[in-house]
Structure 1
């Protein structure tokens, strides 16, 4: 099981993304769309339109890590707020 540290801040990207995007595209999106530093301590979460897939991007001091999760029979609950960035704790993400 994959667990994130409790001290990390999680930032959700509000809009769905094209899931062909890789590490470089997502890091640019964090910087330009979300207005955050992709090298900062935190986890950046992205979801697809159907809300059945999620990508997590974070920097671990030696490079970027990209984790993808796909649900078979359910959907992720994603906030319907209008802000570009929504902040969560790691416990809320889990």
Structure 2
């Protein structure tokens, strides 16, 4: 079974729509963004070193529609319900 088929059947969504799909892992320290761009899928991945993404739990349903600003806030670590960001980290080297 090809994954676009699974995407449509399991989520009742079309991965080829003009939309950005955001998925978080159970630990909420990683997100993947998926979108179709003309001739292929683009995947963007972010892993947090500390803290967790503040997933919007105050919204109803399995599928949530966010504005571009709300998505930016989510990726920046802002709790959309409380509007409180993560602490900024300033590393000097990679260990």
Indicate the structure with greater helix content.
2
Q: TM-score range by the shorter chain?
A: 0.5 to 0.7
TM-score scaled to structure 2, two decimals? 0.65
Match of 1:60 in 2: 37
Cα shift at 1:29: 4.6
4+ residue segments displaced more than 6 Å: none
Name stretches of at least 5 consecutive residues in structure 2 with no aligned partner.
73-95
Greater relative contact order structure (CA < 8 Å, 6+ sep): 1
Match of 1:31 in 2: 8
TM-score scaled to structure 1, two decimals? 0.65
Q: Which has the larger radius of gyration?
A: 2
| C-alpha contact (below 8 Å) 1:30/1:44 kept by paired residues | no
Indicate the structure with greater strand content.
1
Please provide the CA RMSD for this pair.
1.7
| C-alpha contact (below 8 Å) 1:53/1:68 kept by paired residues | yes
- What SS does the corresponding residue of 2:64 show, helix, strand or coil? strand
